[in-house]
Amino acid sequence: EGMSLKAMELGIDWEFESFPEYLNHLESKGVGPNVGAFVGHSSIRTYVMGAEAAHRPATEREVESMCELVANALRVGAVGFATSTSPSHNGADGHPMPSRLADKEELRRLVGVLGEQQKGVFMLTKGAPTPVPFLASLAADTQRPVMIAALLHNSTDPEGVFSDLSQIGDARNRNITLWGQVSCCPLSTEFTLKAPYPFEGLSAWQPAMQADSENSYKMLLSDLSFRSNIRSELKQPAAVRLFNGEWEKLKVLEVIRHENRRFEGKSVLEITNETGEDPLDFLLNLSLEEDLGTTFLSVLLNSDQDAVGRLLTHPFSSIALSDAGAHLTFFCDAGFGLHLLGYWIRERQIMSLEEGIHRLTGQPAQIYGIPDRGYIRPGAYADLFLFDPETVGRSQARRIYDLPGGERRLTTDPQGVYGVWINGTQVSSETGTMEIDRYPGQVLRKFDS
């Protein structure tokens, strides 16, 4: 997820164990924005099963224990239950995240807790094991809303995401509440081969993730059969892969050695058309030559702007997917709302300004059942955002080194923003974040059923 282990070890205050303790801990420390928390499948699976969570199905007793944890989390204020079945979600050693080991019965039991309590939203990052019709059956059985992420356009399977949205529409016509979570931003990522996020979903890359030392990792990257296996896999269709061999969308962003600066800003395809090299060989050889320090930029998904416009205007799509807090070194879409207002509404005019604001505020408040938020009206919380429609937007991403231990992350700067108020307290102005005496945010615990 592009998060520094060093920064987490130095920065996370582990004064909690259970989900109720986690929410209490957030309240005791204070939060800047308002915060709602899902109870996560991989977390509770690991808590119940230990290291085995990433390696085997759960027993009946273990599933019962997980159900109890979900029920308790909902009672104390979880917004819902969240999981992932996406093949791109793996641990550092290449093993799947624990939630991916759950069978459909385990998932049905855990989501069933939401139905029993008649509260909470079920959210997941969808992979092949959980197609939309199965998710519709969960929503129908529990009478709870299901939020399906991450519906991004893939140019190698251009109709795949629209097929998902069509199935979501079919379910809505049967009064089954499904939403498709979409992004208004291209999914682009900065990376080095020290943390090659775009390649980690490839089966042929798994031996590299399991290498027991940097030296053995480098030896594997040089291995001709390893490279051949990757090339073979990239030739096979797979709609859920992040990287599909589109070398024209993968650029050399920053090199280490002076003699390689001629490659900066060029795509791997452009370079190899000039040099006659194989694209994969070029990428691996350049990175090995620079001790894995070469920085690349890859546009992975959502690169077809006309297709993305169709996603954003679909009646059953929810615009979100900032991934704020994760992927810190790969990309930063925390300003997705600014991008929607500036690029998609002012420049592309795909919807009215009023509709765009509703899609960022009132609609998510309705979906997640957050009372008295998302609208400006008497008695509602004063969560306000002052901006200039003629200039609103976000800057290009830049690197800063403000994490614990001086670790780096990517950030973008707001443009055309003149003020932000949280629960009536102003927290920023046109000059940036303001000094305030206390954090004004609330940990949200009450949600409309």
Please give the full DSSP string across 44-85, using - where no structure is assigned. HHHHHHGGGGGTSPPPHHHHHHHHHHHHHHHHHT--EEEEE-
φ, ψ for residue 318, nearest 5 deg = -115, 125
pLDDT tens per residue across span 372-391: 999 999 999 999 999 999 99
pLDDT surpassing 80 at residue 137 = yes
pLDDT tens per residue across span 222-234: 999 999 999 999 9
Give whole-number Cα distances, 193 to 240, 244, 280, 330, 347, in Å.
21, 17, 12, 12, 36
Q: Residue 133 CA to chain centroid, in angstroms?
A: 23
Q: Name beta bridge partners: 250.
A: 298
Q: Does the pTM of the predicted model rise above 0.85?
A: yes
pLDDT value of residue 10: 96
pLDDT surpassing 80 at residue 420 = yes
Q: Which fold has domain 5-187+303-433?
A: TIM Barrel (3.20.20)
Residues of the chain with CATH 3.20.20.140: 5-187+303-433
Query: How would residue 241 be classed by pLDDT, with cut points 50, 70 and 90?
Result: confident
